[in-house]
Amino acid sequence: MANTAATAANNLANKTWNVTKAIGKALLGDFTGLLLIGAGALLTYGIATSKSTEAEEEHKKAIDNTKESVDTFTNTLSNSFASLMTSYSQLKAQWKALSTTHQKKQWIEENKNKLEELGIAVNGVNSVEDSFNKNTNAVVQGFMARAKAAAYLAKLTENYKKQIELIEKINT
């Protein structure tokens, strides 16, 4: 976007300079022609400088927007993953403290909603046991995938908000 603005500024400056040179050639021997060439050069420099500054500002905005987008993604990813892992670790610690099948069945009944929120299958003692002992890596990978999905959604939502703001700005 910044490159396009800079190119447009350069093209406008070149056109202004060419017009100024043409006028100057027509009046070459005339003092007025020399003054027009000088004024045209100053005008060209002013336009190019102004457009270049605008392009630099647009470039800075683009960099800031990219940084904000990356920050949103990173923060959402880490917060989502941390939340899932914290809940999982707490439930796993409680599970390990249980010793009898009866205690485990009762604990499953009491924590069924929490387990389902984490995406842990609740088909009985064995499925929960597997989630906490045999399939820990798969569970953690699942949490990471969910956290990434939440981060991408947050990033996309932020970008849509910016797009809507730009459309409203253009319309006004």
Q: What is the pLDDT along the chain (172 residues), one digit of tens a residue?
A: 555 655 665 565 566 556 555 555 555 555 555 555 666 666 666 666 666 677 677 767 777 777 887 888 888 888 998 999 899 899 999 999 999 999 999 999 999 999 999 888 888 888 888 888 888 888 889 989 989 999 899 888 888 888 888 888 888 8
Residue of 170, 164, 153, 147 whose CA lies nearest to 69: 153
Find, among 65, 56, 51, the residue nearest to 2 by Cα.
56
pTM equals 0.59
DSSP 119: T
Q: Which amino acid is at 134?
A: K
Other CB atoms within a 10 A radius of the CB of residue 147 amount to 20
